[in-house]
Every structure is written in structure tokens, then in C-alpha cells.
Amino acid sequence: MADIAPVRLAAPPAVSVVVPTRNEAENVRPLVEQLREALGATPAEIVFVDDSDDDTPATVTALSERDPDGVRLVHRAVGERTGGLGGAVAAGLAAARAPWVVVMDGDLQHPPETVPALLAAGRRNRADAVVASRYRTPGRVDGLSGGFRRLVSRASGTLAKVFFPRRLRAVTDPMSGFFAVRREAVDLGALRPRGYKILLEVVVRSRMARVDEVPYTFRPRAAGESKASFREGVRYLRHLSLLRLAATRHPVSPLGRMTGFALAGGAGTAVNSAALWALGEVAGLPYLLAGFLAVQVAIVWNFAVIDNLVMPPGEHARHRRFGRFLLLNNSLTPVHLGLLFGLVQWGGLHYLPANLVAIVVVFTLRYAVTSRWVYGAPPSGVVGTLRRAVQTRLLLAALLTAVAFPALVAIAWNGLWTRGDAVPLLIPVAAGAALAARRIRPGLTEPDVHDRQVDGLLAAVLLTAAGTLLALMPSPGWLVPAALAFLAGSAILLVGTRAVARLRWALLLPLVAIGGVMPAVDGAVDAGLRAVVTLLGRPAGPTSSDGGLVTAYKGAELLLPAHQLPGLALAGGMVCLLISAVVIFGWRGRAVLRAAAASTVLAAVTVGAVLAVLLVGRLLGPGAFRIAQLPVFVDILLAVVVAVVVARWSPVPDRAPARAVRQHLPRGRFVLVALLAMAVLLSVRTLPQIEWITAGGVR
Amino acid sequence: MNPFSARTVLSRAQRAGLVVALALIAAWAVLRPMIVVQTVVAVVTVAYGAAIVFRVVLVWAASRGEHLIRVTDEEARAVPDHELPVYTVLVPAYREPSVIGLLMSHLGALEYPADRLEVILLLEEDDRETIEAAARVATAPHVRILVVPESQPKTKPKACNVGLEQATGEFVTIYDAEDVPDPLQLRRAVVALRRLGTEYVCLQAELGYFNVDQNRITRWFALEYATWFRSLLPGLVALRMPIPLGGTSNHFRARELRDIGAWDPYNVTEDADLGIRLARSGRRVGVLHSVTLEEANSDFINWIKQRSRWYKGYLMTWLVHLRSPRATVRQLGWRGLLCLNLFVGGTPLAALLNAVLWATTILWFLDRPPVMEEIFVPPFYYLGVLCLVFGNATVIYLNVLSARTMDRPDLLGTALLSPAYWAMMSLAGAKAAWQLLVKPSYWEKTTHGLHLAKESADVG
């Protein structure tokens, strides 16, 4: 009679508990006992990943022999201990067989009775990971000795949350070494354990979307020595930065990729311009040759950025990717150079701005070509998303307005270099964009009723008004209303009346830019600024006789003239804040209070900026002072502050209940052509009056 | 075949006349452009002024004496049940699954014996959703669901005609799906029609809104309705002119309604057209003091759609009844003709012209182009200024007056803001004119139940 091997029909484990150990022989047995008690009937396996040099492996092996499926040992010998503690956990994750993996320390500071709670939370909330937190109210930090260490632990947790605010939103203890993860949510290949705090590594590198938390109480150590050391803490910051970089690189979402492409394109434009300037102005090459070379430089730069930071590697080797990229991008280089030639030769533009125009045109063309030819009629993926986005349509409306009113663009541009007598357009436009950004999706109660004829009629009225204003009212003060009428009309045609009605306040904000009402407050605001700046004293010196601010550099006096003070910009920014607050919060005291608080911040920033300008003059001399006092810097600063404040005020749209009906987007192809034609016609009106000021041309 | 059907908007003679007139004007415009423009401006100004004067006269006439037919609650309830006639209520509905449940409770509130009441729900074949919703709630034996077979034109009057064929009642009325009628309205109508005699074949009940305070548009709308039903329609009654009926709560004698051919399925304001046709056949219409509450259109785009349909229908009705001018004059008399031109045709045309005239005014203040001095010949210029100042003041005053008759002093601000409402009317007028040319019989569907979304959002 043959020997029949005992067949064990144990259920596959529902949970794997991974315990990294190092010289903890005396803790192993109690841990196993407590875990079995805590898990009860749940089929489980305990994987010890052991980096010890003492008799810990022997203890585990002894346990394992009695229960080969319940206790397993992964021993890493001296040469194999890569990644320290983190590496050990990664090895344990790789060895685990159950759908849920709990990671905990072997020193009994992590109470095994919390494990079922972790698993339950994970199943209940469909999370990718569940963290056992020391800080969530019922849990307490009893085990960490000393207030200072507790503080360090808390601070490092907060730091991690600063680095990953979205992913760690629900997590109070990102430093925890005690957590459960869904096995299939972990991307083992992406892990680069660095010894410290494997939880962050797992959550960030695996791009987990849902992380939950349960409380527990950290227990005093039973035996053995603690591994948390000061050196580990120092390495922590480096690890965090690397993780942040990794999480930002190669974004997965279409929006993230789009943003990546846009940023790369923006940087590429700058590189192209810089290269053209260097080759044309400094090296003195003929501009067409310089233009060609600059395009090549920009292509290499774009490839480097996109390949390293934006797109995942894909299946082709790097040199092949580069070859394709070069070919595709150079296919339109003749168009680029032809356009450059035409604009310089017949358009009378300097070749640097002409190059900018050519870049924009070629970019648009390439986009159109790839979406039509490469991707075929039903555009998919990023291209389709982009085409169907309301944002794209709004951007188009804004671009068309810029085309139709080049004089306004010139005024806005010139305002960056010299202070005009109006609020810099930049600030209200930034506020308007911030206000519009959060209102693009329709509200839940908004009726889904649209009418193309109403769109057409309203747009006809507005476009006629724009044309009439442009034709009859030559004063530049009427340019903004005319442009707004055009913008509103084209936006109505491109995104529909209802969407524009939702965005109406954002569209109207640029009206603030009309200086007509401002001169009254202008003097007062300037005087206030002056008073505060002089009150703060150094680096500002006394006031000059005509109201300018004076500072000194090596005995020579430097003057910030009165008309260069950013009073109008500040006043305009405050008005924008007030209007935005009223739009967002309604006619309530809260709105005024918020606007007042934000205005105070804005004023403080302005004072700080003026002081900074004076400080630059005092420290670096007249050359730097001349550049620092250009209005563009203060204006951009104020625009950013206003936009950030407005964006923070805006309510976050409900992300969960996606509307059953897709957002209404009217057909816009013919409309676009008609609008473009109209814009070009309108542009003829103001084109001859344009005078561009460049940074160098400042008096 | 109804000779005044809007199946063809312009008859052959009309079309020929229009072409000839346009050709003449064009030829003349080439020779003497300024005179043509001056004449057009003069004609428009006079017509505009006349429409305003007509409105004032209507209000004045309405204010002299009582022209609403009043039946007290006691009188209405005094009729014993067995003396009441069978009453048919037609409820045409299309794509209204959300309001059909409410409709049943509103109709259930009617104080009329169920064995003498016949409710016919007229639903369209392709509208499964509403049919299913109706089948769930329409459980009472006197409620019938009639699915109108798919055929063009798919309009409310076509459905009503189908319903009328099946109706067994001596009296017939129409309610929209979202209406909340006065519970005693049917009894009042019976009492009134019996008291008035056979000369009267139709009573128009007053219409009001249950969601007046939802937003600014509904408040304007309510004021406008108050003007319409408390001042203008009683004025028409007082001056013995034809009354363009409202779309719901018209109570007919069924036999007479069938006699004149019921509703015109091609006209998108079949009710107004029916009012004129009743007048042409020598029958009279009264305004009954009993309010049916409707849902005021609370959304801008939805409002424009609804209003443009009304304006298109009014324009249609106007053109249709000008087909045989001699017959029109003979049947309607000069009063009827005035009403047809200044009220039915005048309302949409004034809305349309308003935009042009306001644009001209603004243009004048912006730029003072010298050509305009030439266009406006002095006497008509002064008339135009009078219209601008006096006319606008009058219309605003009428709205303020309505706020008073509604006993809603809080609507004063809304009344003073009504120029913004006129801008909406102009937009609707332009849409109506465009559609009249492009697709005249298209029924611009109004979405109902928008007040429901708001309420549930407020609660939840």
C-alpha cells in the first residue's frame, strides 16, 4: 500500500500580514499568537521578512514547520538587504498571496487587534490602502518616548501632507508603519524603497486614489531595540522630494498630460525665442538661418522635457522616439520659416515677435493636422477631450477677441512697461479667468434647455454693438466695452447662451480696466502707498518734491517717480476683489469682510513690492533699479494674488454626481470661420494706430 | 377645410401682392432712397403710436364698469348635481412625465360630480415616458388616456381636435398639464354660459401663476398676465372686439365649437386664431372671473422659446385673417379690424420694432449721425419722441397699475424694471419673425416643471 501524502485543503489566505523583522527573536512568537487570536477564523498567512543576524530566522522557521501555510519566512542574507526596512516590506509584498496585505512592525508596538479593523475599513470604503493612525482621536501615542520625538514625528507627517495634499487628504498619520493595502493596487515594479517609511512610497508610486484611515494606540515596546534613528529622519526629506518629482512626472490623467504638454510648449517657446535672439542678435546670423536653428533647438528641448517628464516611455527605444519626434515637428518647419519671412518682409514686424506669431500658428496647425489626419474623424483621447472642452471654446473666443482688437492687446502690452492712466488689463483679466474657471460646469438645478436661434440673435446683437462701437467711438476708452461685446458675442456662439450667462460676471470684470472712474482714487491710493512706504523707512528714503520715492545707491539718488507708483493697479485689484466677493458670496456682510481682508493682503503685497523695488536699487544699483521698476513685475504679482484669492473663494464644484446629460456644446465650425473673418475685418480698424513699446524702449 | 388655416401662411394673392409691393418699393428706393426711408419711418412711427394709443383706450374702457363675468361660490354650488351637463376636460401633454402626477391631484380637486365629468389625456404616440407615467396615475374611471396617432403636424391643436371628436360632453374645456384650475371653475362656467344665453359660445377664464416669486422673469410674467387679463381683455370685451383666447381654460359649447371647425392644427397659437374666428362667425366670448394657475416660465431661454411661439402664432393669425380683406371687414367690422391689426398683429410687431427703435435712439445719443436728422422728418420726429417718452412711461405705468390690482406692492420695483423685459420680448419677436419665414408650423416646445427642480434643490 503506497504512502498517501497528506492533502491539505486549506482555504487560500484572505489576508497576508507582512512583518519586517531584524533581531527580534523574542517578539516573534507572541506576535504570531496575538495575530491568530485577533484574526480568528479569517484564513491568513504571516510573512516574516527577516534581515536579522541573530536567531530570529530559526524562531520563525520553527513556527513555520508547524504551520507551513500560516507562517512563512523570507530571509534576506547580508548581501541582499537592499532598501533597508522599505526593501524588506517590498519583498514581503512581492511574496504575499492574499488580496489584502497588512504591513506591521515586529516589535509589538502595532497592536494586532487593530488588523481586523483595517481590513473592514478597506472593504467597506473600497479603499486602495488603509492606514492605522496614531493621531486620529481614539488612537494615542503612548509608545514614542519624549515630547521632542513626538513633535518630530508629527512634523514629518505634516510635511508629507504638504507634499501630497490631495492623495493624503484623509490621512492624519502618513508616517505610520502600520497599514493595509490591496495587493492588486500596488505597483511593485514602481517601488524604489529607500529604507524609510514605505507607506508613502507605496501610496505615491502606485498612484493610489483612495486612502483611508483607522485609529490605534501605539504601544510601548515589549522588547528589542528601536530602529527609528536621527539619520533616517535626515534621509526622509530627500525621499519626499524624489517622490514628489516622481508623482509629478509622467502624469496619467489626460488633464495632467495636457498641462504637461502646455507647460513644455510654453517653455519651448521661450527656448525658441531665446535661441533665436542668441543666434540672430549675438551671433549675427541671418534671421532665417537663425530661425531654422532655433526651431531645432526647441525641438530637442521639447523632446527632452516631454520624454523625461510628461509621457511614459512606451514601446519604442529612445532614439527611435526622438527620430519620430524630430520628423513630425520638422514637417511644418517650412511653414514656420515661410511665415517668419512673410511677417518680417511684408508685415514689417521685427523677427523676434514674428517668430512668436509663427510658433503659435504652427502649433495650431500641427494640432489641427494631427487631430484630423493622424487621429481620424472621431477625435479620441486628449485631442477629443481638448476639442470638446468648453475651456477650449472660451479660449478661442478670447483669442478671436485679441485678433479683432489688436489695439487693445497693444495697450495691454504697453501697460506692462509704462504706467498708463488705466488699471492694467492684466489684473481684471486674471480675476475674470479665476472666476470663470470654477463656473464652467453647469449647476445641478440649471435647466438643460438650449436654443441655437437665441444664441444667434444675442450674438448678432452683441457683435453688431461691438462693430458699431468700434466704428463710431474712436476713443480708446470704448475699446474695452467693444471688445467685451465681441467677446460675449463670440462666446455665446461658441459655448451657448446658458454657459455665458453663468460666466457673465467673469466676462464683465475687465470693465474695471477702464480708467475713467479711477483718476479720483488714483491720487489718494498713491498717496497712501507713499505714506506707508516712507513710514516703513529704509530702504525707502524721503519723498521727492513731486511725490516720487527716493533711495540712494553709493551716494547717488535713485528716484521712483510718482507716476510709476502702482496705485491704480492696487485700486483696480481691490475693485476686482470686491466684485468677485459679491459674485461668489452674494450681497452679504461676509463678502465685504472677505474683500476687505483680501484687499489688505493685496495692499501689503503692493507695499512689499514697492519696497523690494527700492531695495533692488539700493543694493544693486541704477541698472537693476531701472528693470525692477518696470510695472510688469508688480502687475503680474498683483494679478497672481487676485487670481489666487478668487480661486480660493470659489466653491469647489461637486465632483461626484456627474450629470446624466452631457454638457451642452453647440456646433461651432462654421461659426468659428465666420467669427475669424469678422475679427480680421474689425482688426483692420485699429491696426494702423498701434504702437508697440518694448522693454528696451522704456523712457 | 378651414379657409383660415395657417397651413399656408400667405395665400397666393397675398404672396403676389407682397412681391409686387416689395418690387415697387425697391424700384422706388433706387430712385429716391431718402423718401422711401422717410416714408417707412413715418408709417412705423404712426403705427407704433396707434398701438400704444389703442392699449391706453383698452385700459380706459376696461376701467369703466364691470366686464368680467362673475359667478359667486354660492351661485356655482347652488346647481344640483343632476342638472349639471356632462363636461369634457381635454388635457394635451407632450413630454411632461414629471408634472402628470400633480395634474391628477389638481383635476381631482375640481368640484364636479365624477359621473358627469370626462377627462381625456391627449398624449403623443412617441412619448412613452409620459404615457407610462399617466397610466400609473390615471386610475379613476372618468379619466381616459387617448394616444394621438403619429401624424404631421404634431401640435397641441391637432391633439385637441382628436380629443374633441371623442368628447361626449356638452361643454368642453382645455387645461395644460401643469395647470391648477379654480375648483369651482367648471360649475361657474356652466352657470355663466346658461345665464348668458346661446350668443356666448366661449368663456375665457383668467390665468395666473403659482410661482410668481421664483425669480425676476416670473414676476414680470405675472405682471404682464395681470395687465392682459385684468385690463386688456376686459377692454376688448367692453369695446365689443374679438378676443384672442389664451391657451388654456377656455370653456366652449362643444356643438358650436365643432360647427366652426374647432382648432387650426397648423396655427401655433390656435387659441388666438379661434378667438378671431369665433368673432367672424358672429359669436361672443366672455372673460370669466375664475383663475387658473399656470407655471410661469422661469428660465430665460425657455421663456424666449415660448414667447416666440406666441408671437409667431399671432403674426400667423394676423396674416391668415387678412387674406380676404373685404370678408374680414364685413364680418369683423371696423372694431374687429382695429383689434386684429393693432392687437394681434401689433403686439409682436411692436416687440420687434422696439429693438430697432431703441437701437436707433442709442445710436443717436452715441454718435448723432447727421443722416438721422434727415430720416426723421419733423412731424414724425416729434411723434417718435412722444412715443419714446409718453409710450414707455405709459407701458411702465400700466405695469405699476397691475402691481396695484394684484395687490402686490412688492412688485413695484419689478414693474419699473420692465424695459429689460421688453428687450427679452424683442429677442422673442426677432426669433418669431425668423421662424415664420423658415419653419412656420414648428411647435417650439416649452419645458415645464422647472419650479420643481428648484424646490427639490432647496429642500435637499
Q: Say yes or no: B304 contacts chain A, CB-CB below 8 A.
A: yes
Element (H, E) at B258: helix B254-259
Q: Which three cell numbers stand for residue A200?
A: 508613502
Q: In whole angstroms, how far apart are CA B11 and each of A275, A682, B6, B300, B324?
A: 73, 43, 9, 35, 9
Residue A697's pLDDT is what?
A: 44
Q: Which whole number is the average pLDDT over A67-75? A: 82
Which contacts qualify for A36-41: CB closer than 8 Å, 24 or more apart? A36/A70, A37/A112, A38/A112, A38/A113, A38/A115, A38/A116, A39/A15, A39/A112, A39/A115, A39/A116, A40/A116
Give all domains of chain A, ordered by start, each with its CATH number.
15-248 (3.90.550.10), 249-388 (no CATH), 391-418+441-502+667-699 (no CATH), 519-647 (no CATH)
Residue A372's pLDDT is what?
A: 58
Residue B142's pLDDT is what?
A: 85
C-alpha distance from B8 to closest chain A C-alpha (Å)? 23
Residues A486-505: tens digit of each pLDDT: 999 999 998 888 888 888 88
> Which of B95, B217, B300 to mutate against chain A (most A CBs within 10 Å)?
B300
**CA–CA distance, A494 with A459 (Å, rounded to integer):** 10
- B301, A468: Cβ pair inside 8 Å? no
Residues A534-589: tens digit of each pLDDT: 777 665 566 666 777 777 777 777 778 777 788 888 888 888 898 888 888 888 88
DSSP A372: I
Confidence of residue A6 (pLDDT cuts 50, 70, 90): very low
Answer whether residue A632 shows pLDDT above 80: yes
Residue A145's pLDDT is what?
A: 55
| SS3 state of residue A363 | helix
Residue B108's pLDDT is what?
A: 84
Our CA angle for A466, A467, A472, nearest 5°, is 100
Is the peptide bond preceding residue A539 cis, with omega within 30 degrees of 0?
yes
Burial (CB count <10 Å: 0-12, 13-18, 19+), residue A403: middle
Give the residue from B186, B224, B187, B190 showing the smallest Cα distance to B207: B224
Residue B455's pLDDT is what?
A: 42
**CA–CA distance, B239 with B233 (Å, rounded to integer):** 10
Residue A1's pLDDT is what?
A: 40
Q: Which residues of B touch A449 (CB under 8 A)?
A: 299, 301-302, 305, 447
> Which of A449, A452, A495, A498 to mutate against chain B (most B CBs within 10 Å)?
A449
**CA–CA distance, A447 with A9 (Å, rounded to integer):** 61
Per cent of chain A over pLDDT 90 is 3
Q: Say yes or no: B366 contacts chain A, CB-CB below 8 A.
A: yes
DSSP B283: -
Structural contact between residues A655 and A440, judged by C-beta atoms closer than 8 angstroms: no
Range scoring the smallest mean pLDDT among A113-122, A305-314, A644-653, B257-266:
A305-314
Give the residue from B413, B8, B364, B409 showing the smallest Cα distance to B220: B413
What's the whole-number average pLDDT of chain A? Answer: 78
Residue A148's pLDDT is what?
A: 66
Q: Which residues of A touch B457 (CB under 8 A)?
A: 444-445
Radius of gyration of chain B (CA): 23
φ, ψ dihedrals at A230, nearest 5°: -65, -35
Burial (CB count <10 Å: 0-12, 13-18, 19+), residue B95: middle
Region of residue A314 (phi > 0: left; psi between -120 and 50: alpha; otherwise: beta): left
**CA–CA distance, A272 with A269 (Å, rounded to integer):** 5
Answer whether residue A408 shows pLDDT above 50: yes
φ, ψ dihedrals at A683, nearest 5°: -65, -30
Query: Homologous superfamily of B1-460 in CATH?
Result: Spore Coat Polysaccharide Biosynthesis Protein SpsA; Chain A (3.90.550.10)
Query: Looking at the partner chain, which of B299, B308, B431 has a beta carbon nearest the beta carbon of A447?
Result: B299
C-alpha distance from A168 to closest chain B C-alpha (Å)? 30
- B457, A501: Cβ pair inside 8 Å? no
Query: Looking at the partner chain, which of A458, A468, A501 has a beta carbon nearest the beta carbon of B427?
Result: A458
Q: Which residues of A touch B304 (CB under 8 A)?
A: 451, 454
The total number of residues shown for chain A amounts to 699
- A497, B447: Cβ pair inside 8 Å? no
Reported ipTM: 0.84
Q: Say yes or no: A447 contacts chain B, CB-CB below 8 A.
A: yes
Number of Cβ within 10 Å of residue A644's Cβ equals 14
**CA–CA distance, A340 with A10 (Å, rounded to integer):** 75
- In chain A, residues 471-500 whose CB comes closer than 8 Å to chain B: 472-473, 497-498
Structural contact between residues B426 and B417, judged by C-beta atoms closer than 8 angstroms: no
Q: Which residue of B has its CA nearest to A478?
A: B366
C-alpha distance from B399 to closest chain A C-alpha (Å)? 26
Query: Looking at the partner chain, which of A445, A454, A497 has a beta carbon nearest the beta carbon of B431?
Result: A454
Q: Which whole number is the average pLDDT over A664-684? A: 83
> Which of B98, B297, B298, B301 to mutate against chain A (most A CBs within 10 Å)?
B301
Which amino acid, residue B57?
A: V
Which residue positions in chain B have pLDDT lower than 70? 1, 449-460
**CA–CA distance, B307 with A290 (Å, rounded to integer):** 63
> What sign results for the dihedral spanned by CA atoms A178, A182, A183, A187?
negative
Q: Say yes or no: A458 contacts chain B, CB-CB below 8 A.
A: yes
Structural contact between residues B392 and B419, judged by C-beta atoms closer than 8 angstroms: yes
Q: Which residue has the cell 533692488?
A: A616
Residue B259's pLDDT is what?
A: 87
Those residues with Cβ within 8 angstroms of residue B430's Cβ, 6 or more apart along the chain or in another chain: A457, B352, B355
- Bridge partners of B54, per DSSP, are none
Q: Which residue of B has its CA nearest to A447?
A: B450
Q: Which residue of A has its CA nearest to B306?
A: A451
Query: Looking at the partner chain, which of A444, A454, A469 has a beta carbon nearest the beta carbon of B304?
Result: A454
Q: Which residues of A touch B435 (CB under 8 A)?
A: 453
Residue A149's pLDDT is what?
A: 64
A188 vs A518: which has the higher pLDDT? A188
Those residues with Cβ within 8 angstroms of residue B230's Cβ, 6 or more apart along the chain or in another chain: B62, B206, B402, B405
Residue A255's pLDDT is what?
A: 66
Answer whether residue A516 shows pLDDT above 60: no
Residue A693's pLDDT is what?
A: 64
C-alpha distance from A193 to closest chain B C-alpha (Å)? 48
Q: Where are the domains of chain B?
A: 1-460
| SS3 state of residue A413 | helix
C-alpha distance from B457 to closest chain A C-alpha (Å)? 7
- B305, A449: Cβ pair inside 8 Å? yes
Q: Which whole number is the average pLDDT over A527-534? A: 79
Region of residue A89 (phi > 0: left; psi between -120 and 50: alpha; otherwise: beta): alpha
Query: Looking at the partner chain, which of B300, B305, B427 has a beta carbon nearest the beta carbon of A457?
Result: B427
Confidence of residue A661 (pLDDT cuts 50, 70, 90): very low
Q: Which residues of B touch A447 (CB under 8 A)?
A: 299, 301-302, 447, 450, 453
Residue A254's pLDDT is what?
A: 64
Establish, for the pair of chains A and B, how many residue pairs have beta carbons separated by less than 8 Å.
Answer: 47
Question: What angle, rounded to 10 degrees, do the helices at A287-305 and A254-277 form?
Answer: 150
Q: Which residues of A touch B430 (CB under 8 A)?
A: 457
Longest Cα–Cα distance of chain A, Å, equals 118
Q: Say yes or no: B305 contacts chain A, CB-CB below 8 A.
A: yes
Confidence of residue A379 (pLDDT cuts 50, 70, 90): very low
Residue spans of alpha helices (H) in A473-555: 479-495, 497-502, 504-508, 519-536
**CA–CA distance, B370 with A478 (Å, rounded to integer):** 21
**CA–CA distance, A438 with A410 (Å, rounded to integer):** 29
Give the residue from B199, B202, B225, B203 showing the smallest Cα distance to B212: B225
- Bridge partners of B200, per DSSP, are B284
Structural contact between residues A303 and A322, judged by C-beta atoms closer than 8 angstroms: yes
Residues A143-169: tens digit of each pLDDT: 555 566 667 777 777 777 777 777 777
Q: Which residue of A has its CA nearest to B458?
A: A445
- A453, B454: Cβ pair inside 8 Å? no
**CA–CA distance, B10 with B321 (Å, rounded to integer):** 10
- A444, B435: Cβ pair inside 8 Å? no
Instruction: Find the distance separating the first CA and the last CA of chain B, reported in whole Å.
Output: 53
**What is the residue-wise DSSP string for A45-92?**
EEEEEE--SSSHHHHHHHHHHH-TTTEEEEE--GGG-TTHHHHHHHHH
